[in-house]
Structure 1
Amino acid sequence: MRKIQQYVSESIQELKQVTWPTWEELKGSTLVVMLFSLIMGCYIAGLDVGLSWIVNQIMGRG
């Protein structure tokens, strides 16, 4: 039980040292993540369509 109390106490002390982002920083970071996800999703979808087309051409189904 002592180890659990020590763990919780140390965790609280560490959280007090954390520098939390401001609201503006949080909004900016969220926007960057959303845009990156959208770009990567489009890239992967395009790659999938392109490779599917190539495989269909090779297999004679196109």
Structure 2
Amino acid sequence: MRPGIFQVRLPNGHRVIGHPITACRAMAKGWHAGMQVMVELRPFDMTSGRLSALPGETGENDS
């Protein structure tokens, strides 16, 4: 896979291809297999998405 492109497995078992948003590109170099990330999916094309943040970095309660 190209640098900066990640394969993500969703909780429902589906796999999507994603790329980090501009604000997360520097952090993405430290991402590795098994990490949890937040994915923004398009409503009509759920095969690709944007990796927006790591859980806990958005200010939301990720329980």
TM score, norm. by length of structure 2:
0.21
Question: Which has the higher Rg, Structure 1 or Structure 2?
Answer: 1
Between structures 1 and 2, the one with greater strand share: 2
TM score, norm. by length of structure 1:
0.21
Between structures 1 and 2, the one with greater helix share: 1
Name the structure, 1 or 2, with higher relative contact order (CA <8 Å, separation 6+). 2
